[in-house]
């Protein structure tokens, strides 16, 4: 019974070795000589002037969530377009209803000012 799980165990061990192995080898063989230049901030070129834990505007999250929602809904169009010949008129009508609901939701968000950025 346990011999059936041996290939899975080998696969997991090899996956861990291939994932962790290069990190460990790089840490052990790489030079570790930090100086002021290496430890300085490099992201934008100057020292941070605010706390990294500052509060973000809620509208940022709203726009991000709306983007994810509409992006995922549009992803349904690709498989529908592939099988459109097979599903016929029913598929065309159901996608028209789906897109109509999507447009109504977009117009609602637009009128409520969810997409406005000041």
Q: How confident is the model at residue 25 (pLDDT cuts 50, 70, 90)?
A: very high
The encoded tokens of residue 91 equal 């598929």
Domain 2-112: give its CATH code: 1.20.58.1610
**pTM exceeds 0.75 for this model:** no
Question: Can you give the pLDDT at residue 13?
Answer: 96
Q: What is the sign of the dihedral through the CA atoms of 92, 94, 100 and 105?
A: negative
Q: How confident is the model at residue 93 (pLDDT cuts 50, 70, 90)?
A: very high
> Lowest-pLDDT range, 1-5, 8-12, 54-58?
54-58
Q: What is the sign of the dihedral through the CA atoms of 75, 77, 78 and 79?
A: positive
Question: Can you give the pLDDT at residue 48?
Answer: 62
Q: Helix %, strand %, coil % for the chain, to 5?
A: 70, 0, 30
- On whether the CB atoms of residues 66 and 109 are closer than 8 A, the answer is yes
Dist CA 75 CA 98 (whole Å): 12
Find all residues with CB under 8 Å of 66, minimum gap 6, and list them. 109, 114, 115
Residue 18 has pLDDT above 80, yes or no: yes
């Amino acid at each position: 019974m346990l011999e059936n799980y041996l290939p899975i165990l080998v696969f997991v061990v090899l996956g861990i070795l291939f994932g962790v192995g290069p990190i460990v080898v790089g840490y052990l063989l790489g030079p570790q000589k930090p100086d002021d230049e290496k430890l300085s901030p490099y992201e934008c070129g100057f020292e941070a002037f605010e706390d990294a834990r500052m509060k973000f505007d809620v509208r940022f999250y709203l726009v991000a969530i709306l983007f994810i929602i509409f992006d995922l809904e549009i992803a349904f169009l690709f498989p529908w377009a592939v099988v459109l010949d097979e599903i016929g008129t029913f598929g065309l009508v159901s996608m028209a209803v789906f897109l109509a609901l999507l447009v109504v939701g977009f117009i609602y968000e637009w009128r409520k000012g969810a997409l406005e950025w000041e």
